[in-house]
Structure 1
Amino acid sequence: MSGFTVNGAGIDDADIEDAPEPAAQLAALFWRWWAGNKIDSQQITLYRRALRDGKSYIIVDWDEKKGMPRFTLHSLDAGDVEPGIMLHHDPEDHNRILYATRYFYTFDPLNPGRTGVQRKTIYLPGEIRKYIQGKAGQWETYMDSGDLSWPLSWVDAQGAPLGIPVIEFENPGGSEMAGIIGLQNALNKTWLDLIAAADTSGFPLIAIEYTTEGGFNPIADDANIEGDDELHISPARIIQVDNARVHRLEAANLQPMIETKEAFVQAIAGVSRIPVYYLQPVGGAEVPSGEALKQLESGLVKRVQERQLVFGQAWADAMEIAYNIAKTFGAGLPEVDPLNIQAQWTDANVRNELQQAQVAEAYKRLGVPDDVVWTTLGFTPTDIAGFKGQARREEAVTVAAIAGELRRAGLAAQRPADSTPPVQQNGGTQ
């Protein structure tokens, strides 16, 4: 993800105070929180967990030291009492979350006796309840250092609930891996069989078939080998045996096993809807490019765009909770009402740099704002903010130069008509 817009206003600069309106100020503030929590890199882990497990989570709270909301990533979907997070939905309205529960175990390397104790935290819209498991297995109320009450109040200055600070990033359709685990296991098994077959029958062998009694005597001890008990075979060496026939066993045809392996790859590509060239090496003319690549990746791009919609709404919910938390525990936030947050994503389509440049040039001729033109070219909000800052600095220099010229022109106009400027002569004035 590349940024946020608030009520249609995007980030204007890294400096909130320079933003022209409250909505743009808030968008810039969101981006500052984003950078302060290092989410630019952590979001990769967040999305991969959602794709792998079907769900991942973020818990939003207040970081007193940094003076901003804190976003903490969680991956595990809890069982009844297993570590992880569980959302409890209204049985009559699945979209309405009643409360969230987080199970975890304590870890204190300096006090081993306190390690491995199970904890439970329940997040309700207006309060937070903490529990610890007693020795008999029962849940007991618990207060961490710094907690002022039990349960913790989770309301704003007017007493309104701040909301459940647990945000779910749910992958549409669940885990991307669930449907291909069986096929992947079969592919792994086929690879092992192919390697074993290559080891045992992938090379030609020399066979000696005895027609009567005879042959090599059994060797009881490798350290006591008589000359006649060994058979040395090497290139250009003549093999001479008695009462036997020497013939060559050709290498086995491994192509059917190779085709079986490729069939499993094709099946995985079909089930996962991932282009097959992502799953096996390609080269030469087989490498798709241009319009062919765009067509082949259209299904994958569509899936990415669907997840951008779902994950974008989750980010909007997370930022709305963070905004409410910051207004309660922080100070100086711009008031924006009603609040409409949208996530900005980088383009999921395969980019054609020349085509994008031509589109941007057409936009420029039509008078489309520079922000749209820059976004079309793939520049990030940080890049765009830098462009605007540079433009403002250049404009300030130009305005200062014009103002200087006008000031000098004004001084010249104020001189009396009969006055003449002094003439420099022989190092002096007259």
Structure 2
Amino acid sequence: MEVDARADLMCGIEELAESRHGYDKAAAYFDGTVQEVFSSVRLRRALAANDVDFRINFAKTPVTAVANRLKITAVTSPDDAQNKALADLWKANQLNIEAPDLHTKTCELGDGYLFVLPIQDDNDNVTGIEMYYNSPVTVRAIYREDRPREIDFVIKRWTERGCLRAEVLYDDHTERWTTERNSKGDQPRDWNPWPADDEDEESWTIPHSWDFPQNPAFHFRTARPYGTPEHYAAYGSQNAITKLTTTHMGNVDYTGAPQRYALTETKDTDTGDLDPGDWDDEDFPENANATGPTDQGDPSSLKSGPGELWLLRGFKAVGEFKPADPKAFLDPADWYIRALAHVTDTPAHLFDITGDAPSGESLRRKEAPLVDKVKERQKLFGATWTAAFTFALRLLGFDDPVVDVRWAPAATVDDLQGWQVVAAKIAAGVPVIQALMEAGYRQEQVEAWLSESDEAELGRRVQIIATFATAAQSLGTAVTLGALTEEQVTGILAGTVDAIELLGQPVEETA
């Protein structure tokens, strides 16, 4: 067999090897296992030998902040049969669990892959579809140089029973390769065809069962052509935070047990008071029951305790070294946490351990970069999900399937200022459905509300909510100024809520 037959295989293996370090590094920062950076090799070894670990992982937050808002609410089709098939696919492949996991891992590493393969019976009839996640550590899509949006081929490599295995997936067929046991697999000669059927030597090349060009591996990514971990920009800040917190913990030991000193008069100093006890363990009777006295080799005969008297002969002064001020560590750590939030477009309040968070317009302004990022990920991930489900439906025999992937809003309006803006838009003539969708509510939610009442009625309810919110804010100001008591405001609001429930009922037209 010509070596050229292995050209794509070796190209893919080289790409996997080159990208592996970046993925491992991203995973280490996400898991919080990155070691402190030391200028002293000796100090690093000493801490490693004693398994000292004071790491506090903030680098994970930029990943979870995005992934937690990537929630698919529905995958539908206008065709009833296709819609049922999509529901069956979702349930059979446990995508309510797998999809969030895929989103999180893709945000963590920057890339992720979804394999979509047919399940066939003995007569080659498609009876189902398998959809499962693959890590970019073992899978890599190779894109065409002349058409950068198109996948040339996908390689998957793994270890099985001491042998390296590899599959090279094209649009129309898959090639299977293997090595001998304990082979490094870094040379073309290490790889041999791996037949799927031992009785058929040519079965290492498997034609795809579908009659249209399509690679069964779908590439999820945070950018094109390859993604970047959501927390990539946080690496430097996390290193600084880890070093500051670890060094601070070392300083805590000196706060609890300060380092002391004694100044001596050279000519007449008696250091005997600092010597160990006069008795060794072997000078004591046998201590069979572990109840008798022993000399533990204390470094000094001076004892610390209430009522103890220390006699230091010949020492002119004693004292202790003052530990470093904790602010020297904690204040810079706070700065690096804020820097980490800034460089990753993550709201700073997500790192605030006090639990304080902004609200209203301030919250929307501070979360705007994160919301924009989530919307971009929804576009990228949504396009890949649509392609994967479309391919699955075609495998099931549907011609020209139509798939619609719906996401939960990246942010929704649920505060006073937000509802005031919505009400103002409606009052200015913006259609109710448009105003509510701009506020972050899904189209199907608004349509469900409109099915219960017409657009004018829904607009009236929005106005009621906005008016009530404004009144509640004004009453809160009145309490602050002392014009009203909290009990009075509570009574007013309780009565108002009852009235709103009546006002919120549909208005019946009279003849």
TM-score (normalised: structure 1): 0.67
Q: Residue 167 of structure 1: which of 204, 218, 226 is its match?
A: 218
Please identify, of 265-274 and 179-188, the stretch whose mean Cα deviation from structure 2 is larger: 179-188
Q: CA deviation at 1:151?
A: 3.1
2:276 corresponding residue in structure 1: 219
2:238 corresponding residue in structure 1: 184
Question: CA RMSD of the aligned region, Å?
Answer: 4.1
**Contact 1:99-1:164 at 8 Å conserved across structures:** yes
Closer/same/farther in 2, CA of residues 342 and 70 from structure 1, 3 Å limit: same
Please identify, of 166-175 and 180-189, the stretch whose mean Cα deviation from structure 2 is larger: 180-189
Q: Structure 2: which 5+ runs fail to align?
A: 1-71, 182-188, 282-293, 452-511
**Contact 2:258-2:321 at 8 Å conserved across structures:** yes
**Contact 2:75-2:404 at 8 Å conserved across structures:** yes
Closer/same/farther in 2, CA of residues 368 and 184 from structure 1, 3 Å limit: closer
2:346 corresponding residue in structure 1: 274
Is 1:32 aligned to residue 85 of structure 2? no
Q: Residue 389 of structure 2: which of 314, 319, 322 is its match?
A: 319
Partners of 1:320 and 1:207 in 2: how far apart? Answer: 77
Closer/same/farther in 2, CA of residues 297 and 350 from structure 1, 3 Å limit: farther
**3-state secondary structure, aligned to 1:169:** strand
Partners of 2:76 and 2:405 in 1: how far apart? Answer: 6
1:376 corresponding residue in structure 2: 441
Q: Residue 231 of structure 1: which of 302, 325, 331 is its match?
A: 302
Closer/same/farther in 2, CA of residues 252 and 345 from structure 1, 3 Å limit: same
2:12 corresponding residue in structure 1: none
**Contact 1:62-1:70 at 8 Å conserved across structures:** yes
2:75 corresponding residue in structure 1: 4
Q: CA deviation at 1:292?
A: 1.9
**Contact 2:195-2:205 at 8 Å conserved across structures:** no
Q: Residue 99 of structure 1: which of 153, 156, 178 is its match?
A: 153
**Contact 1:357-1:377 at 8 Å conserved across structures:** no
1:45 corresponding residue in structure 2: 101
**Contact 1:219-1:225 at 8 Å conserved across structures:** no
Runs of 4+ in 1 over 6 A off after TM superposition: 145-148, 353-360, 377-380
**3-state secondary structure, aligned to 1:344:** strand
Q: CA deviation at 1:263?
A: 2.2
Is 1:67 aligned to residue 127 of structure 2? yes
Partners of 2:368 and 2:197 in 1: how far apart? Answer: 51
Partners of 1:312 and 1:265 in 2: how far apart? Answer: 32
**Contact 1:134-1:140 at 8 Å conserved across structures:** no
2:288 corresponding residue in structure 1: none
Is 1:195 aligned to residue 249 of structure 2? yes
Closer/same/farther in 2, CA of residues 353 and 70 from structure 1, 3 Å limit: farther
- CA-to-partner distance for each residue in 1:153-202, whole Å, 9 max, x for gaps? 3254xxx3251111000112512233322332232122111100111246
2:175 corresponding residue in structure 1: 129
Partners of 1:275 and 1:260 in 2: how far apart? Answer: 19
Which is greater in Rg? Answer: 1
Q: Residue 341 of structure 1: which of 403, 428, 440 is its match?
A: 403
1:256 corresponding residue in structure 2: 328
Q: Identify, as 1 or 2, the structure richer in helix.
A: 2
Closer/same/farther in 2, CA of residues 145 and 4 from structure 1, 3 Å limit: farther
**Contact 1:203-1:251 at 8 Å conserved across structures:** no
Partners of 2:394 and 2:237 in 1: how far apart? Answer: 46
Match for 1:182: what amino acid?
A: G
2:498 corresponding residue in structure 1: none
Q: CA deviation at 1:293?
A: 1.9
Match for 1:71: what amino acid?
A: M
1:398 corresponding residue in structure 2: none
Partners of 1:64 and 1:356 in 2: how far apart? Answer: 53
Closer/same/farther in 2, CA of residues 358 and 69 from structure 1, 3 Å limit: farther
Closer/same/farther in 2, CA of residues 197 and 350 from structure 1, 3 Å limit: farther
Q: Identify, as 1 or 2, the structure richer in strand.
A: 1
**Contact 2:106-2:221 at 8 Å conserved across structures:** yes
Closer/same/farther in 2, CA of residues 205 and 119 from structure 1, 3 Å limit: closer
**3-state secondary structure, aligned to 1:213:** coil
Closer/same/farther in 2, CA of residues 28 and 347 from structure 1, 3 Å limit: farther
**3-state secondary structure, aligned to 1:128:** strand
Is 1:352 aligned to residue 414 of structure 2? yes
Q: CA deviation at 1:318?
A: 0.5
Partners of 2:432 and 2:229 in 1: how far apart? Answer: 45
Q: Structure 1: which 5+ runs fail to align?
A: 10-21, 78-83, 107-114, 328-332, 389-430
2:367 corresponding residue in structure 1: 297
Count of matched residue positions in the alignment of Structure 1 and Structure 2: 340
**3-state secondary structure, aligned to 1:376:** coil
**3-state secondary structure, aligned to 1:167:** strand
Closer/same/farther in 2, CA of residues 181 and 368 from structure 1, 3 Å limit: closer
Closer/same/farther in 2, CA of residues 188 and 60 from structure 1, 3 Å limit: same
Pairing of 1:384-403 with structure 2 (within 5 A): none
**Contact 1:346-1:378 at 8 Å conserved across structures:** no
Match for 1:161: what amino acid?
A: F
